[in-house]
Amino acid sequence: MDQIVRPRRLRGGETIRKMVRETRMDKSSLIYPMFVIDGVNIEEEIPSMEGQYRYSVDRMCCELERLVEAGVGSVMLFGIPAEKDETGSQAYAKDGIVQRALREAKARFPELYYITDVCMCEYTSHGHCGILKGHDVENDQTLAYLSRIALSHVEAGADMVAPSDMMDGRVQAIRRELDGSGFKEIPIMSYAVKYASAFYGPFRDAAGSAPAFGDRKSYQMDFHNSREGIREALLDVKEGADIIMVKPALSYLDMVTKVRDHVQVPVAAYSVSGEYAMVKAAAAKGWIEEERIMCEMAVSTYRAGAGIYLTYYAKELAKCMDEGKIG
Ligand code: PBG
């Protein structure tokens, strides 16, 4: 047979396969999401997220140490307060859970890079991501609170803030607040392309942040929409976002690619709690190979165009990269 072109030539062995790889990753692009909770001596496993824990400030350091050892350099902190109220006041309290965790973590592990999730749903008694007016979240009033939360995180030592509330204009509001307080150099990673997704289910168990009534569809995006995601991304870049995030990752890789093609800033993708929980559950049944699935999910996200990957598997992925299984 007269075949000149044979793609298989480049698949003949491990060395040539690695030589021609199109997607290369680095541990420095991994961000580990971590839950910190008010109280002492707490290290409780999250039932729907096997292997993930809520740590009190006095117990979180072992986990931070494991991250440093694994070569994962960045964490995203989520706080779970003891008290919730209508305006989520613990979200911007000087001695709030995230603020205390930041001060302690920065002192113990200054080599790590600390990003904070800026949102209100973990802190409000109603579980919505902002200030309510009737049964709706009032956009513009919420902006002042988000700005205050972001500033309080930065004052406590956050290296970057990541608003995840999906209010209109929040990036600009936070940017102004930070700049006005002398924090011009602190970047904002915007959860710009964030869909109203059932994939967040286990996170809401973990953080006790499920809305008490209704849903988040009036602020998070409808998953039927793609152009709307580009619009959100472009708007946030205009408002001063330094990094744009797409969330969830697995079912939204088309959006990762499209956003990457439309913006000049780095693109991050968040493999959320439901993605993690599905893999864990199927692996526990012996139905899939956890490590290989985890690797495929990660590589496909980078292949789609993400330069930064937020994942509960950060440590395990770092190990696979070290061992040359991926990367
Ligand atoms: C806060 C927030 C959520 C997640 C990240 N930030 C929950 C939500 O929007 O309901 C989800 C993360 C995950 O599922 O792993 N708004």
In this predicted structure, the answer to whether residue 112 has a pLDDT above a threshold of 90 is: yes
Write down the pLDDT at residue 150: 98
In this predicted structure, the answer to whether residue 169 has a pLDDT above a threshold of 80 is: yes
Write down the pLDDT at residue 178: 98
Q: Please give the mean pLDDT across all residues of the chain.
A: 97
Write down the pLDDT at residue 128: 95
Task: Indicate if 247 belongs to the active site.
Answer: yes
In this predicted structure, the answer to whether residue 1 has a pLDDT above a threshold of 80 is: no
Looking at this protein, which amino acid is placed at residue 88? Answer: G
Tokens coding 96: 């709030």
Stated pTM of the model: 0.97
The preferred substitution site among 49, 200, 270, 271 for testing ligand 1, maximizing ligand atoms within 8 Å of CB, is: 200
Residues in the chain: 327
Percent of the chain at pLDDT above 90? 98
DSSP 85: B
Residues in contact with 185: Cβ distance below 8 Å, sequence separation at least 6, in sequence order: none
By alpha-carbon position, which residue is closest to atom 14 of ligand 1? 200
For 61, 70, 71, 121, the CA distances from 65, given in Å and listed in that order, are: 6, 9, 10, 29
CATH of domain 21-322: 3.20.20.70
Over range 114-132, report the average pLDDT.
96
**Could you state, in order of their start, the residue ranges of all structural domains in the chain?**
21-322
**Cα(244)–Cα(92) distance, integer angstroms:** 24
Task: Note the pLDDT tens digit of each residue in 66-90.
Answer: 999 999 999 999 999 999 999 999 9
Task: Note the pLDDT tens digit of each residue in 176-225.
Answer: 999 999 999 999 999 999 999 999 999 999 999 999 999 999 999 999 99
Ligand 1 proximal residues by C-beta, below 6 Å = 117, 119, 121, 129, 164, 200, 203-204, 272-273
Expressed in angstroms and rounded, the spacing between residue 83 Cα and the centre of ligand 1 is: 19
